Amino acid sequence: MTKASPTPGRRPQRIGIAADHGGFELKQYLLGRLREAGYHVTDFGDHQLQPHDDYPDFVIPLAQAVAAGTVSRGIALCGSGVGVSIAANKVAGVRACLIDESFPAHQGVEDDDLNLICLGGLVVGHAVAWELVQTFLAARFSGAERHRRRLAKISALEIPATKVRA
């Protein structure tokens, strides 16, 4: 497996991370590991464990930063990873997916230009989560024509419909 660490001599990737109470502890662990590996990490919250917080409050700003290019990739966590995936995919330009195995962590980037990984803080342990994040960050979009064609069809759905005059 290729480890995710900034290429020597190149500017480290800017990574965004966000979690609610269900992913808070895992977020704190990953935040430390990412910084140790040399990444510039923006923490979109929550910044303290609050049992009644709501993941959209943190994940939507993260997804907006990914879409705007303020951060190159995002990591979103909640208890199962499902809620953050649903929320992040509501932001145009974001391609988020719940990942729990190594293959989709890189294949999702290579074929589908995945730009935000979603993890379940109550589902995956530290070691597996770190491996998945490293795999996700090391992967690169292939740019193959068939993948670009498919992504264009998906992106077309994000364009607001224009009213047709009769």
**pLDDT at residue number 76:** 98
What does the pLDDT look like over 71-82, one tens digit per residue? 999 999 999 999
Structure tokens at 9: 């001599």
What does the pLDDT look like over 85-119, one tens digit per residue? 999 999 999 999 999 999 999 999 999 999 999 99
The whole-number average pLDDT for the span 153-165 is 72
Domain 14-158 indexed as CATH 3.50.50.60? no
Distance from C-alpha of 78 to C-alpha of 57, rounded to nearest angstrom? 12
Which of left, alpha, beta for 56 (phi over 0: left; psi -120 to 50: alpha)? alpha
- The whole-model pTM stands at 0.89
Is residue 8 scored above 90 in pLDDT?
Answer: no
Domain boundaries, the chain: 14-158
Is residue 6 scored above 70 in pLDDT?
Answer: no
Is residue 135 scored above 90 in pLDDT?
Answer: yes
Alpha-carbon separation of residue 162 from 113, 119, 133, 158 (angstroms): 27, 36, 39, 12
**pLDDT at residue number 165:** 53
**pLDDT at residue number 13:** 87
What does the pLDDT look like over 15-73, one tens digit per residue? 999 999 999 999 999 999 999 999 999 999 999 999 999 999 999 999 999 999 999 99
Q: Which residues are catalytic?
A: 78
**pLDDT at residue number 158:** 87
